[in-house]
């Protein structure tokens, strides 16, 4: 099972990223969990200075923008 983490304070862009991540997971039909990381100290542990950010299995993939569902599908397929 993959772990998809949305890092951010809970803003509208963060919510949109979580929505896109879940849509990508559903479209691919894979087992994955979407986790929202809102604690600033946890976000800093990823060395992320701009949010929202997307991590897949603890590896940062996107920082500072909301990727499309298609972009997330490609990242999940890697």
| DSSP codes of every residue in 10-57 | S-HHHHHHHHHHHHHHHHHT--EEEEEE--HHHHHHTT--SSSEEEET
For residue 51, the model assigns a pLDDT of 93
Span 3-60, pLDDT tens digits: 999 999 989 999 999 999 999 999 999 999 999 999 999 999 999 989 999 999 999 9
Domain boundaries, position 54: 2-77
State how many domains the chain has: 1
Residue 12 has a pLDDT of: 95
User: Which one of 3, 9, 11, 50 is the catalytic residue?
Assistant: 11
Active site residue 11: yes
The pLDDT of residue 78 is 85
How far apart, in whole angstroms, are the C-alpha atoms of residue 24 and residue 45?
Answer: 26
Judge whether 17 counts as a catalytic residue.
no
In whole angstroms, give the CA distance from residue 74 to residue 78: 7
Half-sphere exposure of 22 (CA within 13 A, CB side): 9
Q: Pick the catalytic residue: 14, 17, 25, 66?
A: 14
Give me the residue label for tokens 């993959």. Answer: 2
Instruction: Return the CATH number at 20.
Output: 3.40.30.10
What is the reported pTM? 0.93
DSSP state of 64: S
């Amino acid at each position: 099972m993959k772990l998809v983490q949305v890092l951010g304070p809970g803003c509208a862009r963060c919510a949109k990223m979580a929505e896109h991540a879940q849509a990508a997971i559903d479209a691919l039909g894979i087992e994955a969990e979407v986790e929202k990381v809102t604690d600033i100290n946890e976000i800093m542990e990823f060395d992320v200075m701009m949010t929202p950010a997307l991590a897949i299995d603890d590896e940062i993939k996107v920082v500072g923008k909301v990727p499309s569902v298609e972009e997330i599908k490609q990242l999940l397929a890697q």
